[in-house]
Amino acid sequence: LWLIIPLFLCQFTEEKLGQAEKTELDAHLENLLARAECTKQWTERIMKQTEVLLQPNPNVRLEEFLYEKLEKKVPTRMNNHELLGQSMIDSGNEFGPGTAYGNALIKCGETEKQIGGAEREFIQSSAINFLTPFRNFLEGDFKTILKERKLLQVKRLDLDAAKTRLKKARMADARAVAEQELRMTQSEFDRQAEITRLLLEGVSSTHAHHLRCLNDFVEAQTTYYAQCYQYMVDLQKQLGSFPSSFSNNNQSSVSGGASISVPTIPVSASLPSPSAGRGGSTASGGFSELRSSSGSRKARVLYDYDAAGSSELSLLADEVITVSCVPGMDSDWLMGERGNQKGKVPITYLELLN
């Protein structure tokens, strides 16, 4: 062995210096090696960027990596959506679920927590069906390829060293020994080249497997974003109790500026209003009756309301005002009067009195 190693190193050094013959691999094997290396590099990059997508915080990623290496369970923590949702719910309860703002905060918080749950499921699904197969390739199949490729390199150096010894042999006995050694090293090199080739051709199967994993990842993303979209549509419908005040505030903030196109989701007219449960059906009938007449009615204010403009009337919860319908006014509004003050008020903040 102590004689073989110097010969091995001598052959390698002479090849690097261009002083010894080097057996070249066939073009097909070279192409397979290049494709395997390319697959490895892009698999690593895709894995890294996917991990960043699923967990943008590098400190949390490092912590999860350490727990994985220690084979310990990662402690459960709330994600950003869930933290935001909990803050909204807590603040809504502080302001009061009976107020419009507090009620809206609670609804938004519950939806954010739903989105957080959907995100957790998406991350788990992606880790199992997408990241794990990619990691298995890098830590399993590709490491085997590397091992066999290094062994092929050793066999090639042995072969070239045998060729060199045959060229230098002068005596008949020495040439016979060198020729036998050459045949043996050539056979070992060919066998190792075949083993390496079979492993490298298996990369095609890896591509096919990764394609299926990619389809699973896209399906998981589709499900996740569809869930988020549906949650937000449902939330918008729940907030349909206060559409006019929100839209007026938004219009005021962007008036005079550049036009902003915001997609809207149609809100069902059959959604319950804040007055539901307080004689809501009677109130709805009262509003319809009020619109069809030219008279006025007394109404109790359900929630505080801050006027968005000079044409509106600010309201305080539980106060009683006089309301009437003005021709041409939007069906979501009535004209409200309080002493000498007069202005538009949203009907969803009112409960008609008998």
Low-confidence ranges of the chain (pLDDT < 70): 1-21, 60-61, 64-65, 67, 69-70, 241-285
Going along the chain from its start, the domains and CATH numbers come out as: 23-241 (1.20.1270.60), 287-352 (2.30.30.40)
- Report whether 161 contacts 11 (CB < 8 A): yes
CA pair distance 336, 218, nearest whole angstrom: 53
β-strands 320-324, 341-346 pairing: unpaired
Mode of pairing for the β-strands spanning 320-324 and 333-338: antiparallel
Eight-class DSSP state of 321: E
Q: What is the rounded distance in angstroms from the CA atom of residue 2 to the CA atom of residue 8?
A: 10
In whole angstroms, what separates CA 28 from the centre of its chain? 39
Phi, psi of 350 (to 5 degrees): -120, 155
**Token pair recorded at residue 297:** 């009615």
- Alpha-carbon torsion (74, 132, 61, 119), positive or negative: negative
Contact criterion met (CB below 8 Å) for 57 and 83: no
pLDDT of residue 251: 42
Mean pLDDT for the chain? 81
What was the pLDDT predicted at 288? 77
* CA atoms lying within 13 Å on the CB side of residue 51: 17
- CA 90, 92, 95, 98 dihedral sign is negative
pLDDT of residue 303: 84
pLDDT at residue 19 in the model: 52
Nearest alpha carbon to residue 65 among 156, 131, 157, 162: 131
By the 8 A CB rule, do 88 and 106 touch?
yes
H or E segment to which residue 101 belongs: helix 100-126
CB 319 within 8 A of CB 352: no
Q: H or E stretch including 333? A: strand 333-338
pLDDT at 260: 34
Instruction: Round to whole Å and give the CA distance between 158 and 92.
Output: 77
Condensed to tens digits (0 to 9), the pLDDT of residues 220-256 reads: 999 999 999 999 999 988 887 554 444 444 444 434 4
Q: Say what the pLDDT of residue 272 is.
A: 39
Round to whole Å and give the CA distance between 337 and 318. Answer: 15
pLDDT tens across 21-49, in order?
678 889 999 999 999 999 999 999 999 99
pTM, rounded to two decimals? 0.61
**What would the two tokens of residue 344 be?**
């538009």
Which of 271, 267, 266, 293 has its CA nearest to residue 352? 293
Q: What is the pLDDT of residues 246-284, one digit of tens each?
A: 444 444 443 443 333 434 434 333 333 444 444 444 445
* The pLDDT value given to residue 88: 96
Strand order in the sheet with 296-301: 341-346, 333-338, 320-324, 296-301, 350-352
8 A C-beta contact, residue 103 and residue 239: no
